[in-house]
Amino acid sequence: MSRPQWGGYALGASRGAFRPSGIFLCLVALFLLSGWLAWAGYGSARLNVLVFVVTGWLVSLCLHEYAHAVTAYLFGDRSTAERGYLTLNPLKYSHPLLSIVLPVAIVLLGGIGLPGGAVWVDHHAIPGRLRHTVVSAAGPATNVLFTLALVAPFAVGVDIFAHLDFWIAVAFLAFLQLTASVLNLMPIPGVDGGNALHPWLSPQWRRGYDMLAPYGMLLLFALLWNDRIGGWFFTGVFWLGDRLGLPRELYSLGFDMIRFWQV
């Protein structure tokens, strides 16, 4: 029996390789439950907002990396299935510390959606520069879609006071997705935006890029730490949020609420 085809490539992985992991399903369940509790006003408002934001952020991280992995798989890299990336299990990522712990810590401490290094892709198995660019861009595209979906209720004028805690949580999660979208698309070596440009660089520029790529996250930190550059970044993010209809006062309240140690 012939295997199913997608874009000329045989899809050789078993169904189990695509089955969502129990960890991911638990994250989704906690996300939905905390959202319902915040909507209904049950329990601690701060705890509901904290769990909603953290689990929502982790779900988005899983889907971000899944987008990279499944796109690479469809373009010819079967190793993404063998490594378990297509199960949406965050513990399968190459660097769980960078992919999960560090981004969550930055969310809690800095209120910013930090991209993290995660899935390993065998680019030698993927033909064509455009496909490599699409693989790199697939992750940030999920953040953009998350941003638009979360901002949509505010753009159409939802009554935020009817379920204030819930909308505070949604607004802050939307802000995190917006910052992640911008950061991931920045043309920095080792970050998705830079990786999308990498196939189109000349051999000389590629060598320089490859030397800097392992330190891309440190470079990103250094840029954001700089008062001027960090100021430009946040000014741009606030401007984008305003244009999308995201209320500043709501996501500011969300950041205050998840900092549970500052009661």
Q: Which residues are tagged catalytic?
A: 65
Sign of CA dihedral 181, 185, 186, 191: positive
Alpha-carbon gap, residue 237 to 234, rounded angstroms: 5
Q: Which long-range contacts (CB under 8 A, 24 or more apart) does 16-22 make?
A: 17/81, 17/82, 17/84, 17/86, 17/87, 18/81, 18/86, 18/87, 19/87, 20/87, 20/88, 21/87, 21/88, 21/89, 21/92
